[in-house]
Amino acid sequence: QTVVTQEPSFSVSPGGTVTLTCGLSSGSVSTTYYPSWYQQIPGRAPRTLIYNTNTRSSGVPDRFSASILGNKAALTITGAQADDESDYFCLLYMGSGISVFGGGTKLTVL
Partner 1 sequence: QVQLKESGPGLVKPSETLSLTCTVSGGSISRTDYHWGWIRRPPGKGLEWIGSIIYSGSTYYNPSLRGRVTVSVDTSNSQFSLTLTSVTAADTAVYYCARTNSEWYWGQGTLVTVSS
Using CA atoms, how far apart are residues 78 and 30, in angstroms rounded to an integer?
A: 23
Q: Pick from 35, 23, 25, 45: which is nearest to 67 by CA?
A: 35
Within 49-68, which residues bind partner 1 (CB under 8 A)? Answer: 51-52, 55, 57
Using CA atoms, how far apart are residues 12 and 34, in angstroms rounded to an integer?
A: 27
* Residue choice 78, 85, 101, 108 for contact with partner 1 (CB under 8 A): 101
> Between residues 2 and 13, which has the closer beta carbon with respect to partner 1?
2
Q: Which residues bind partner 1 (CB under 8 A)?
A: 1, 34, 36, 38, 40, 45-48, 51-52, 55, 57, 87, 89, 91, 96-104
